[in-house]
């Protein structure tokens, strides 16, 4: 409570982060892979960037290790999405991470309980004392886990806007600044991009659907916004590691399918069924309902956080710790803010397990049509 009320300066935050980091294992993977990279996102809706970024970089010779997480609040977790792939194992310790990196250039998975155990205890206390959004405590929590793998360079994707944990741009920028400074204070290269989360990033939101969309991106397709943000974050890591790559090389890896093959090699190395990738099956919940524009005009606002919450209420999130979630529940985002639409035009489509008109109505209420809208910029700032 004292840290939340009075704040912590940089030296104090470094000390707290280091103490939490040292409470558990430190893998120091960059001793074996000197240009090892990592990426952290503060969470959003329809955000598949981690699933695209890692194989893209690996296909270009830059190794990536990420400790994936479960869903939190209105956001879906990368670990939960990856469980849509049959046979994939995500239990990751230092030895298995080194083996995956040596074989494929990628290590993605859920960390052992030995990583930053102090963070779990302190997070529980923060939950009970309403100090979750304390910036220094947030920074120490994120970095104590992120730095445990020992990456040489980290890029942070800090979301701002309606669907972000810190909607206000000023607070998001301050979080980004602190994470970059503390990370560099602990001798790891870092930078951050501030990115828009006033609407879903990609076309699909939902665990299985997002995996399928990531595969589309990895072979030269997929939503433009997802690809553009992935390339922007990749270029940050290229710069931090001083790799001999440019934007054209990254886009060529996507267009040629090399990035998709890197993803498949990694998944198979961690137990996935190779045959599944020949015809990746997308099993959606059976009740399909369109969300239509109520009037002619311009899409002015999308209640993005509420969309994520509604997907969770429909079964796309765990009701209790360790509970089941429905990976077939999904939303297909068919428009963008600023787009002109006609009355009755489809804005989105939801896939639900049961026919619940009241729930469809709540999804529809998340879209606001007006006479004009402010233009959106995908990357709204950079912290270096």
278 as an active site residue: the answer is no
- Residue 141: alpha-carbon gap to chain centroid: 17
Q: pTM of the predicted model, to two decimals?
A: 0.94
Task: Report d(CA 162, CA 160) in Å as an integer.
Answer: 7
39, 74, 81, 126: which one is catalytic? Answer: 126
Structural domains of the chain, ranges and CATH numbers in brackets = 2-278 (3.40.1030.10), 287-370 (3.90.1170.30)
Q: Report which of 132, 135, 125 is spatially closest to residue 158, judged by C-alpha positions.
A: 135
Please provide the DSSP assignment of 118-160 as one string. HHHHHHHHHHHTT-TT-HHHHHHHHHHHHGGG--SEEEEEEEE
**HSE toward the beta carbon, residue 16, CA cutoff 13 A:** 20
| 8 Å CB contact between 58 and 101 | no
141, 144, 191, 205: which one is catalytic? Answer: 141
74 as an active site residue: the answer is no
178 as an active site residue: the answer is no
DSSP label at residue 26: -
47 as an active site residue: the answer is no
39, 145, 178, 212: which one is catalytic? Answer: 145
141 as an active site residue: the answer is yes
pLDDT attached to residue 369: 97
- Write out the chain's pLDDT in tens, 384 residues: 899 999 999 899 999 999 999 999 999 999 999 999 999 999 899 999 999 999 999 999 999 999 988 777 787 889 899 999 999 999 999 999 999 999 999 999 987 889 999 988 888 788 788 887 789 998 999 999 899 999 999 999 999 999 998 999 999 999 999 999 999 988 999 999 999 999 999 999 999 999 999 999 999 999 999 999 999 999 999 999 999 999 999 999 999 999 999 999 999 999 999 999 998 888 899 999 999 999 999 999 999 999 999 999 988 876 665 667 889 999 999 999 999 999 999 999 999 999 999 999 999 999 999 999 988 899 999 998
38, 47, 80, 119: which one is catalytic? Answer: 119
CA 338 vs CA 28, 335, 374, 379: distances in Å: 46, 9, 7, 16
């Amino acid at each position: 409570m004292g840290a939340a009320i009075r704040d912590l300066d940089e030296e104090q935050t470094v000390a707290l982060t280091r103490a939490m980091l040292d409470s558990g294992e430190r893998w120091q993977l960059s001793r074996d892979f000197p240009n090892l990279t990592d990426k952290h996102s503060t969470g959003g809706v329809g955000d598949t960037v981690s699933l695209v970024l890692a194989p893209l970089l690996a296909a270009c010779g830059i190794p990536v290790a990420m400790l994936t997480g479960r869903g939190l609040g209105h956001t879906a977790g990368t670990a939960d999405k990856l469980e849509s792939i049959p046979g994939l194992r995500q239990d990751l310790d230092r030895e298995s991470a080194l083996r995956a990196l040596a074989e494929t250039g990628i290590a993605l998975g859920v960390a052992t309980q030995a990583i930053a155990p102090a963070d779990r205890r302190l997070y529980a206390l923060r939950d009970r004392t309403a100090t979750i959004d304390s910036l220094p405590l947030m920074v120490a929590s994120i970095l104590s886990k992120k730095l445990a793998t020992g990456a040489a360079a980290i890029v942070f994707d800090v979301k701002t806007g309606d669907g972000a944990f810190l909607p206000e741009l000023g607070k998001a920028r301050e979080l980004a600044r602190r994470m970059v400074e503390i990370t560099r204070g602990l001798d790891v290269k870092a930078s951050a991009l501030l990115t828009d989360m006033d609407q879903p990033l990609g076309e699909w939101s939902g665990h299985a659907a997002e995996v399928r969309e990531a595969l589309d991106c990895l072979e030269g397709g997929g939503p433009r916004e997802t690809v553009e943000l992935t390339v922007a974050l990749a270029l940050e890591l290229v710069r931090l590691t001083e790799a001999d790559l440019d934007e054209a090389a990254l886009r060529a890896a996507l267009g040629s399918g090399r990035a998709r093959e890197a993803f498949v090699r990694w998944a198979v190395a961690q137990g996935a069924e190779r045959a599944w990738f020949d015809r990746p099956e997308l099993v959606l919940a059976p009740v399909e309902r369109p969300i239509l524009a109520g009037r002619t005009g311009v899409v002015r606002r999308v209640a993005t956080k509420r969309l994520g919450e509604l997907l969770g209420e429909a079964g796309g999130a765990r009701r209790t710790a360790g509970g089941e979630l429905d990976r077939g529940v999904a939303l297909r985002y068919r428009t963008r803010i600023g787009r002109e639409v006609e009355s009755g035009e489809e804005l989105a489509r939801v896939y639900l397990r049961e026919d619940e008109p009241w729930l469809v109505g709540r999804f529809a209420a998340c879209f606001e049509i007006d006479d004009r809208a402010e233009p959106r910029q995908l990357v709204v700032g950079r912290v270096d």
